[in-house]
Amino acid sequence: MSADLDQMFAMAREAQAAAYAPHSRFRVGAVVRAASGRLYSGANVENAAYPVGTCAEAGAIAAMVLGGDRAIAEMLVVGDGEALCTPCGACRQRLREFAPDAAAIHIAGPQGIRRSFTLGELLPHSFGPDNLA
């Protein structure tokens, strides 16, 4: 991993450890690298009424917006288990609001990055801000 990815992975693992997941016990951490180079992390926050929970990716994006950035260069998501912990459909659309098709989305497990995708691979033929221009 590059030094940037090492730092993103460390921050994502820290966020994952802080996740609030008493119902599923499936903790997720995410880190966004904004186009400015600044890093923002987020953790999943569950709720007994499942649709009200928040994904780690959404938390990282919200932190980025709060920090004043508006463009995502790449994201790293970490989750446990054998299956890849890719962003859900809603989070793929949230990413699309701030990231180009070519943005790298790195999927990690406890030992490190398992696979990288582009946002375009995860959300092909997407509807985004440019459709409204």
Q: Which active-site residues does the annotation give?
A: 57
Work out whether strand 104-109 and strand 72-79 pair parallel, antiparallel, or are unpaired.
parallel
Q: Which residues have C-beta within 8 Å of that of residue 52, sequence separation ≥ 6?
A: none
Q: Please give the span between the terminal C-alpha atoms of the chain, in angstroms, as a whole number.
A: 37
* Nearest C-alpha neighbor of 47 from the set 30, 29, 24: 24
* Nearest C-alpha neighbor of 115 from the set 123, 105, 124: 105
